[in-house]
Amino acid sequence: MIRYIFITGGVVSSLGKGIASAAMGALLQARGYKVRLRKLDPYLNVDPGTMSPRQHGEVFVTDDGAETDLDLGHYERFTGVSARQSDNITTGRIYQSIIEKERRGDFLGATIQVIPHVTDAIKEFVLSDPGEGVDFVLCEIGGTVGDIEGLPFFEAIRQLGQELGPERACFIHLTLLPYIPAAGEMKTKPTQHSVKELRSIGIQPQILLCRCDRPIPETEKGKIASFCNVRPSSVIEARDVGHIYDVPAAYHAEGLDTEVLWHFRMSDAPKPDLTRWNEIARTIHNPDGEVCIGLVGKYTDVPDAYKSVSEALVHGGLANKVRVKVRMIDSEQFDDEHHPLDILEGVHGVLLPGGFGERGAHGKMRAARFARERNIPCFGICYGMQLSVIEAARHMAGFEKASTTEFGATDEPVVGLIEEWTKGNEKIQRDENTDKGGTMRLGAYPALLKKGSKIAEIYGTTEISERHRHRYEVNRGYVDAMEKAGVSFAGMSPDGLLPETIELKDHPWFIGVQFHPELKSRPFEPHPLFASFIEAAKVQSRLV
């Protein structure tokens, strides 16, 4: 029997529903249960693929090519369960599907309404096949209770609560308990009002997860329980912790998983094994040293824009027992050729993340050259690899006009849309007249690595599969000339058409990859490229 846990939020956004959902999944896993996590997003976009990183943060990509909310990255990192297209839905996709059916006549002339058609579609998504042997499905509802765009989702899960019954459905509500310094008090009223709003639409939460920056007095817990109609033990303190990977153990100590299992009358549940979480916490809080990585991008003022990259760097630190300090560096400031690169002095590694557009691109190329000439470990990811190739083409291979057609017409299209310089690979042919949500190489693709190359040594194999998200490719026609100049194209697509990785032959650690390895990194299984990159940074810092 599959049980469903619905996680909602109130009072303010950014309370951490995604982390709370992921931590809850990790705790159930630690007790031996199999879980799947899903995200319901109320915004009208079909998916986050065309949304600005400044508004939405990064776009997380699954193996099956779905562009999803970044919370799915948290789900994967905390549980190790690979997300799928069927684990993230938006209002836009729901309405798109319904309107397509209506246009085909599938509703036989019925009047299409939010209830039942939209709510039925949401329920169908929630109940869709979670996979074999799953015990719990955790569904996070985006936004906060009271948001007008979220009402169909709240109504849908209200209906599911009735249809499934308390033995199969549990509602957890995440709220804020602010402390008012002038009054010297923690205020429960925002939580009371949030729960009142939730109850007004027919949902009675069984568990309240209360975010706070200090312990909740027992008197306040009692007040919340009384006014919100829950058991005192169901008021769970979700206090700020030192690191997000401390959250599962902290929530367990406060009894979150115990309360969930009590609700489902699962008194015979095994005790959780949190050994690996405790080991991670020890490494994070007691490292053997620190390395500094300069992350050069154009959205560095929005940390969520590089969430998976930042987490993968942490995982690389865990593999090497060091703390990774990430120095966010705005690549746009380097677009001016006269702007000094002083801020890169002292970093032990340079990371060039993915991105789009000409703004900040020259700055990334200058950073790549800085790392190349100074023998500083450098890791180029997706767009970061493409710009590293252009920089090398200009200053190593003599192609002074080397560029990408993403910037416009060029005499030396070292990077471009594949249709611009080759034909025949039907799998990735693109129609540039289609919408921008459907013009990329998305999801997992295989690659073959050269035997004896540095990257093959790092992976420990010559056959890999990694997730992609990009429109442009490095032009195969320039490979031979660049190989002669010292750039090794150590990884190619199985048909030999698309360069997938590069490495510099006379550099201690300079690797570029067309894919996004950060999307598959886990705290328990750091991605080998990030582990190796931080190891090289550790050598650069003279910690070894």
What is the set of active-site residues?
Answer: 382, 516, 518
Beta bridge partners of 35: 136
**According to the annotation, is 16 in a ligand binding site?**
yes
**According to the annotation, is 471 in a ligand binding site?**
yes
**According to the annotation, is 383 in a ligand binding site?**
yes
How large is the angle between the packed helices 17-30 and 71-79, nearest 10 degrees? Answer: 20
- In angstroms, what CA-CA distances link 529 with 266, 352, 446, 498? 42, 14, 16, 20
**According to the annotation, is 14 in a ligand binding site?**
yes
Contact present, 138 and 130 (Cβ < 8 Å) = no
Separation CA 86–CA 81 (nearest Å): 13
**According to the annotation, is 239 in a ligand binding site?**
yes
Contact present, 345 and 476 (Cβ < 8 Å) = no
**According to the annotation, is 15 in a ligand binding site?**
yes
Sign of CA dihedral 333, 337, 340, 342: positive
- Residue 354 dihedral angles phi and psi, to the nearest 5°: -70, 170
CA 240 to chain centre: 21
**According to the annotation, is 18 in a ligand binding site?**
yes
**According to the annotation, is 190 in a ligand binding site?**
yes
**According to the annotation, is 159 in a ligand binding site?**
no
Separation CA 276–CA 262 (nearest Å): 25
**According to the annotation, is 321 in a ligand binding site?**
no
Beta bridge partners of 474: 415
**According to the annotation, is 329 in a ligand binding site?**
no
Separation CA 198–CA 194 (nearest Å): 6
Q: What is the DSSP letter of 38?
A: E
**According to the annotation, is 200 in a ligand binding site?**
no
**According to the annotation, is 148 in a ligand binding site?**
yes
List CB contacts of 510: < 8 A, sequence separation 6 or more: 371, 372, 377, 378, 388, 503, 504
For residue 216, which amino acid is it?
Answer: I
**According to the annotation, is 385 in a ligand binding site?**
yes
> Given the structure tokens 């009894």, which residue do they identify?
255
**According to the annotation, is 384 in a ligand binding site?**
yes
Q: Classify burial at 109, counting beta carbons within 10 Å of its beta carbon; exposed 0-12, middle 13-18, buried 19 or more.
A: exposed
**According to the annotation, is 68 in a ligand binding site?**
no
**According to the annotation, is 236 in a ligand binding site?**
no
**According to the annotation, is 71 in a ligand binding site?**
yes
**According to the annotation, is 55 in a ligand binding site?**
no
* Count of other CB atoms within 10 angstroms of residue 64: 15
Separation CA 42–CA 132 (nearest Å): 28
**According to the annotation, is 179 in a ligand binding site?**
no
**According to the annotation, is 346 in a ligand binding site?**
no
**According to the annotation, is 140 in a ligand binding site?**
yes
**Residues constituting the chain:** 544
- In angstroms, what CA-CA distances link 137 with 5, 7, 266? 6, 11, 16
Nearest in space to 429 (alpha carbons), one of 437, 415, 440: 440
For residue 330, which amino acid is it?
Answer: D
**According to the annotation, is 17 in a ligand binding site?**
yes
Separation CA 232–CA 240 (nearest Å): 21
Write out the binding residues for ATP: 14-19, 71, 239-241
Write out the binding residues for Mg(2+): 71, 140
Write out the binding residues for L-glutamine: 355, 383-386, 406, 471
Write out the binding residues for UTP: 13, 187-192, 223
Write out the binding residues for CTP: 13, 147-149, 187-192, 223
Write out the binding residues: 13-19, 71, 140, 147-149, 187-192, 223, 239-241, 355, 383-386, 406, 471
